[in-house]
Amino acid sequence: MATYDLIIRNGNIVTLDSIVQGDIAIKEGKIKEVSIGEHLEAIAEREIDAEGQHILPGLIDTHVHFNEPGRTNWEGIQTGSRSLAAGGVTTYFDMPLNSTPPTINKENLELKRACSEEKSVVNYRFWGGLVPENIENIKELYENGVIGFKAFMSPSGIADFNHVDDVTIFKGMREIASVGSLLAVHAESTVICDQLAQEKQSQNKTSAKDFVESRPIISEIEAVRRIISYAEATGCKLHVVHASSRKVVDVINEAKQRGVDITVETCPHYLSLTLKDLEEKGGLAKCCPPLRDDQEVEQLWEAVANGEIDVIASDHSPAPASMKEVTNGDFFKAWGGISGAQSTLNIMLTEGHFNRNLPLGKIVELTATNPAKLFGLYPHKGIIAVDSDADLAIVNLTESFELKKEDLFYRHQHSPYVGRTFKGKVTTTIVNGDIVFEDGNITIVEKTEINS
Ligand SMILES: NC(=O)N[C@H]1NC(=O)NC1=O
Ligand SMILES: [Zn+2]
């Protein structure tokens, strides 16, 4: 009889177009057998009875800022990766900025890689940065394994990561296209946002609403339209991150239909929070682009359901509580970034599946399969199949819970989702065949702890 490292029995296995009960056998980090409808005649060192639970491919969060090296007082790979494991995420792509030094050349990439090898409890990949100073480093970054390049079209909030001017966009995209990679963009218009912010601030209009009005949807649309033209001029593959509105998604889809090689991400916060939350929760709910209104949230869900969004990612961009405080009612000064990576699946299940009938297969597609396909990880990741990596999230869909700050594994235990009731709880997360999270606890010991 076959012997495995781990067998998960009787779970409801979620694929893109079906949910079937079966057993999954794992050995040496890979899925070796998937037995649908019948008992797998095999033994294993460890068995999990997943009767009544659902098994999803582990999520791939293509957009996190873990800020290590250099800014571990904001987050860090150990805390960040643990929070992902607790949320059913088994791979992350770390952004090039908020860490110091930023990932804009090979040396800095190696520094980040060393930190991750030592501390991460899940799988990872790295984004390289495109800034005005590093076009000549694109090739070496790509050759050393970055999954793509990230640029800001408006100030990033981080002094050592400059936003790109149009000349850098043009030259950078030509270079990125020539190595065969892609560019991800934070698309907001510097002209529109800076001008409106100056006008608001000079009139002492600094409320949550004023902040949101200073970064209107048209500013995203302007930047997206412009960069689409550069994509067409250079042939560079483009990925627009954190679209906050269906109106932005529409512009992207129109380009897609014309044959432009372009994809779009949105984030759980644009699907679950509004200006009202910013007013109520203060800086915890501040991000750029900002939160919109109820109608925009519903329209974005329609885009998700219609297949007009390619990827859902967290844009986890945490900071210490002191930096999230709104003082004297001034929403312009607090750090812009949502701490939310642990809750992506919870929001997709509660707000998407239970509240809006979004099929589970669609959630898998947006959070695992599409990210894997887009960034060359498929079919090793993003699917439950024989020979795929054993990266899995086991979820109890019948269980509801209220998110408490003590549940959070972040460096700073705050999030705009604290106090929210979610339906669907991650009970177990498996990475490369190892159980890394089970029943509320991280169960794997990092190399750092082994060494010390
Ligand atoms: N620098 C950084 O993390 N920026 C992120 N924060 C946010 O709210 N939007 C972003 O792009
Ligand atoms: Zn961004």
pLDDT by residue (tens digit) across 388-428? 999 999 999 999 999 999 999 999 999 999 999 999 999 99
Ligand 1 centroid–CA 214 distance in Å is 16
- DSSP letters for 333-369: TS---B--GGGHHHHIIIIIIIHH---HHHHHIIIII
Q: How confident is residue 452, by pLDDT bands cut at 50, 70 and 90?
A: very low
Interatomic CA distance for residues 61 and 391, integer angstroms = 13
Q: How confident is residue 196, by pLDDT bands cut at 50, 70 and 90?
A: very high
Beta carbon of 156 within 6 Å of any ligand 1 atom: yes
Burial 75-91 (b: 16+ CB within 10 A, else e): bbbbbbbbbbbbbbbbb
Matching residue, tokens 């329609």: 302
Nearest ligand, CA 151: 2
Model pLDDT, residue 178: 98
265: nearest Cα among 200, 327, 220: 220
Model pLDDT, residue 446: 60
Ligand 1 centroid–CA 203 distance in Å is 26
Beta carbon of 155 within 6 Å of any ligand 1 atom: no
Model pLDDT, residue 445: 66
Q: Whose CA is nearest to atom 3 of ligand 1?
A: 317
Residue 144's contacts (CB-CB under 8 Å, 6 or more residues apart) are: 106, 109, 110
Tokens (6 digits) for 5? 């490292």
Q: How confident is residue 450, by pLDDT bands cut at 50, 70 and 90?
A: very low
* Contact of 14 with 362, CB cutoff 8 Å: no
Q: How confident is residue 444, by pLDDT bands cut at 50, 70 and 90?
A: confident
Ligand 1 atom closest to Cα of residue 317: 3
Examine the pLDDT at 80 and tell me if it is beyond 50: yes
Residues at the binding site for Zn(2+) are: 63, 65, 150, 186, 242, 315
Examine the pLDDT at 449 and tell me if it is beyond 70: no
* Contact of 382 with 368, CB cutoff 8 Å: yes
Q: Whose CA is nearest to atom 9 of ligand 1?
A: 288
Interatomic CA distance for residues 164 and 153, integer angstroms = 5
Q: Which of 13-17, 76-80, 443-447 has the highest mean pLDDT?
A: 76-80
Examine the pLDDT at 377 and tell me if it is beyond 70: yes
Domains within the chain, CATH numbers bracketed: 2-55+386-397+423-451 (2.30.40.10), 58-374 (3.20.20.140)
Beta carbon of 186 within 6 Å of any ligand 1 atom: yes
* Contact of 334 with 282, CB cutoff 8 Å: yes
pLDDT by residue (tens digit) across 256-299? 999 999 999 999 999 999 999 999 999 999 999 999 999 999 99
Beta carbon of 99 within 6 Å of any ligand 1 atom: no
Out of 97, 98, 287, mutate this one to test ligand 1's pocket (max ligand atoms within 8 Å of CB): namely 287
pLDDT by residue (tens digit) across 202-241? 999 999 999 999 999 999 999 999 999 999 999 999 999 9
Interatomic CA distance for residues 315 and 120, integer angstroms = 18
* Contact of 356 with 301, CB cutoff 8 Å: yes
pTM over the 0.90 mark: yes
Nearest ligand, CA 317: 1
Tokens (6 digits) for 63? 């957009």
Q: How confident is residue 195, by pLDDT bands cut at 50, 70 and 90?
A: very high
Tokens (6 digits) for 231? 């994509």
Proportion of the chain above pLDDT 90, given as a percent: 97
Cα torsion for 284, 285, 288, 293, to the nearest 10°? Answer: -170
DSSP 99: S
pLDDT by residue (tens digit) across 307-328? 999 999 999 999 999 999 999 9
* Contact of 9 with 41, CB cutoff 8 Å: no
Beta carbon of 287 within 6 Å of any ligand 1 atom: yes
Examine the pLDDT at 448 and tell me if it is beyond 70: no
> Which helix (H) or strand (E) element contains residue 43?
strand 42-49
Ligand 1 centroid–CA 287 distance in Å is 7
Q: Whose CA is nearest to atom 6 of ligand 1?
A: 337
Interatomic CA distance for residues 151 and 93, integer angstroms = 15
* Contact of 93 with 62, CB cutoff 8 Å: yes
Nearest ligand, CA 243: 2
Ligand 2 centroid–CA 183 distance in Å is 13
Model pLDDT, residue 108: 98
pLDDT by residue (tens digit) across 28-68? 999 999 999 999 999 999 999 999 999 999 999 999 999 99
pLDDT by residue (tens digit) across 85-136? 999 999 999 999 999 999 999 999 999 999 999 999 999 999 999 999 999 9
Matching residue, tokens 């480093």: 137
pLDDT by residue (tens digit) across 145-156? 999 999 999 999
Residues at the binding site are: 63, 65, 150, 186, 242, 315
